[in-house]
Chain A
Amino acid sequence: MTVSHWRRPVAWLLAWAVAAAAGAGWMAHARLQSLQDAFVTDARIVHRLLSQRAVQHDAVMAMLPLLQPPAQPPGDGAAAPLPRLPAAYPQILAALRRPPGSAWPAPLRAALEAAEARSHRSGHAELAQADLPAGRLWLVLAGQAAGHALQLDLRKALPWDEWPMDPAASPVRVQLEYEGQSFSVQGGRRLAHGWHYGFHKRLAAQSQPFDVVLERDVGWSELPWGPMLAWAAASAAALAALRALLRQRVAARRAEELLRLGQVARLNQLGELAAGMAHELNQPLTALLASTQAAQRLLDNEPPDVDTARHAMGQAVGQARRASAVVGRLRRVVERPDLSGQAQPLALPAAVHDALHLLEPELRRRGIDVQVDAPAGLPAVRAEPVALQQILHNLVMNALQALEQAAAGQRHLRLALRTQGTQALLSVRDTGPGVAPEARAHLFTPFYTTRPGGLGLGLSLSESLAQAMGGGLSLAPSGDGPGAEFHLLLPLAGSPP
């Protein structure tokens, strides 16, 4: 059987596991993908913002030589502070100007001089005394007239108003790195498990060659567990529904099979009965024939052997008795119990409906148009349910087989119910070829059939059953229309039995 492995629960569990895993995996993948996209976008924004700030510092730097030098305290030859800038830019902690011939303040001198020398060569501002962990650094720009230096506080340089993330809550780690030092812009969150995204790009400002490094750890808890579980539940429900549907179909097929099997079994029993009967009768008939023919031959002899012939005739008589005993025994075996005792009130339309329902696939396959005329309020009949089903089944089957000989568009089956005196009458009429005149007389005779392969028992059995229930079955006189019409009469439940 091809359906058997679908019945095994393990197969279903496996199918569900595959479906649930595939769906959940796809969801997780989509979530990770979107998290990564968001990270990359944030990282680009952060890089752009920080680069803009750095460029701004360069711009401020470039602007310094244009500023009017403050009144120079004469004589000390030291670089002078530019007091107005820190007020305008909070990240600028200090701004120094070193006029030609003067020196940088003492503690910074060496570092700033070295940076100024580099700036001379590169033509742009250079870093000095960069202390990234503290966020402090100097920028030095050499010039024709004077050198300038700015001390910056990176922490105040961060553009929080345009920041794409919530710096306190965001799991993204942002750092600026320079020569092994690093400045933590945003702490983020570190995880030992899960997925890791990274972004690494140098600031777009020559004077501040910091690497912008962003990192993002995605933990298991960030997967879309709700939808994933919902999907698993939904797929389980869908598979359970499918399984139930398949089971139902299997059950329906099994029921059909059982019905067919029951019919076959009945036929087999009947065949066995007939074969047994044939054998039981054949033996005495064989002996009877042989004895009488032997007697004939013995009497034809010249001279006739009368004694032996008499003996043979005695044998023949014994065998005739034996055959008749077989028939008597058979009659007692197949005698049907009286059905009138088991009769009960039944709704005939419902019984008709049941019979048609059973044969519905057959009727549909042959394209037979079925019409049932049942007047409302038809009183119940008194019948034995199984016997009635058998009669109805036989009548519909007969009509169905007759209709196979009708043209495809001309296959009509009409079942009409009405009361007739104290009886209910069911008329079953088909548009098949009808009953030939010579067949009408033998229609209810056992073993009479017009169908090749037919047993010739259906109508005779139906008639016996109907009569046993106090009703009757007859062939309606051939009317004007084509086909055959059978009338089943059954006593109404209210009538005296």
Chain B
Amino acid sequence: MTASLSPLIHLVDDDAAVRDSLALLIGTVGLRVQAWADPQVFLAEFDRGGVGAIVLDVRMPGTSGLAVLDALAAQGVDQPVVMLTGHGTVEMCRRAFKAGAAEFLEKPVDDGLLIEALQAAVRQHVRSRERHQAGRQARERYAQLSGREREVLGLIVEGLTNKEIGRALSLSPRTVETHRANLFAKLETDSLAQLIRRYAALVP
């Protein structure tokens, strides 16, 4: 995992001069840049696990930026994509956003705009990775619950008291209380509010 490193910007443009100068510019704010001349090589090799963003030129020989965008979306790549174009039409812009582009900028691009867009994209990516991570943890913990505990959790989420749960499952309130304590411990949760926020979505 490269998540511990600083965010990495993938820069895909067939023009060497544009690559070099944009890489230099992006580097001035401390973001790492990996430049790609060929979109096919980029698609084949770039690190999907890393945190960062992708800058894509729309007009490239061979594979257009929009096609690359579609391929990324189809592969479920979660890095935000900033599109760059020399002459953007409304239609092209619409297509890009529909395909999931985070931002659409016109060349020549002002440094402020580009850097702001990239920083926003990286922030967004980091947050989404964290959310994703939290979701995975929650699933792992939920998997540890016994069948009875899951039933109890479901009824808790529905808002029933221990007594009502006991009646519903034909258990004594004491037993319900034991299950409740166990599942709070297994799910590493301190409060009812936290429990519901994290696990309500997992209850079938």
Contact = CB atoms under 8 A, between A and B. Distances in A.
Interface of A: 275, 278-279, 282-291, 293-294, 296-298, 301, 308, 311-312, 315-316, 318-319, 322
Contacts of A294: 21, 24-25, 27-28, 111
Instruction: Give the size category of B's interface with A.
Output: 20 to 34
A301 B87 CA distance: 33
Nearest to B25: A294
A284 B17 contact: yes
B109 A282 contact: no
Contacts of B27: 294
Contact of A290 (B29, B59, B87, B109): B109
B108 interface: yes
Interface string B16-57: 011011101101110000000000000000000000000000
B86 A315 contact: no
Contacts of A287: 15, 17-18, 20-22
A290 B28 contact: no
Max chain B C-beta neighbours (<10 A), residue from A296, A297, A301, A315: A297
A299 to B, nearest CB: 10
Contacts of B18: 283, 286-287, 290
Contacts of B174: none
23 contacts: A275-B87, A278-B87, A279-B86, A282-B107, A283-B18, A283-B86, A285-B107, A286-B18, A286-B22, A286-B107, A287-B15, A287-B17, A288-B108, A289-B111, A290-B24, A290-B114, A294-B21, A294-B24, A294-B111, A311-B24, A315-B17, A315-B24, A319-B17
B108 A282 contact: yes
B110 interface: yes
B108 A278 contact: no
Contact of B21 (A275, A282, A319): A319
Interface of B: 15, 17-18, 20-22, 24-25, 27-29, 59, 84, 86-87, 107-111, 114
B117 to A, nearest CB: 14
Contacts of B84: 286
Nearest to A295: B24
B28 A298 contact: yes
A282 B110 contact: no
Nearest to A301: B28
B35 to A, nearest CB: 12
A446 to B, nearest CB: 18
A453 B86 CA distance: 20
Contacts of A318: 17
Given A289-B111, A294-B111, A312-B21, 20 more contacts: A278-B87, A279-B86, A279-B87, A283-B15, A283-B17, A283-B86, A286-B15, A286-B18, A287-B21, A289-B109, A290-B18, A290-B24, A290-B25, A291-B21, A291-B25, A293-B25, A294-B27, A311-B24, A319-B17, A319-B21
A275 B17 CA distance: 20
A289 B24 contact: no
Contacts of A293: 25, 110-111
Contacts of B20: 287, 315
A322 B16 CA distance: 13
Max chain B C-beta neighbours (<10 A), residue from A282, A311, A318: A282
Contact of B59 (A279, A284, A285, A297): A279
Nearest to B107: A286
A266 B109 CA distance: 31
**Across the A-B interface, the 5 shortest Cβ-Cβ residue pairs:** A282-B86, A293-B111, A290-B21, A294-B25, A291-B21
B45 to A, nearest CB: 24
Contact of B108 (A289, A296, A312): A289
A291 B87 contact: no
A283 B86 CA distance: 8
A290 B86 contact: no
A290 B111 contact: yes
Contacts of B15: 283, 286-287
A285 B111 contact: no
B18 to A, nearest CB: 5
A288 B25 CA distance: 11
B24 A291 contact: yes
A34 to B, nearest CB: 75
B21 A315 contact: yes
B108 A286 contact: yes
B87 A285 contact: no
Nearest to A319: B17
Nearest to B106: A282
Max chain B C-beta neighbours (<10 A), residue from A291, A294, A308, A319: A294
Nearest to A316: B21
Max chain B C-beta neighbours (<10 A), residue from A291, A315, A316: A291
Contacts of B87: 275, 278-279, 282
A312 B22 CA distance: 10
A232 to B, nearest CB: 60
A289 B110 contact: yes
A290 B110 CA distance: 7
B26 to A, nearest CB: 8
Contacts of B59: 279
Contacts of A296: 111
A205 B107 CA distance: 119
A285 B28 CA distance: 19
Contacts of A312: 21, 24
A420 to B, nearest CB: 45
Contacts of B86: 278-279, 282-283, 286
B17 A322 contact: yes
B107 A297 contact: no
Contacts of A319: 17, 21
A308 B110 CA distance: 20
Contact of B22 (A285, A290, A297, A301): A290
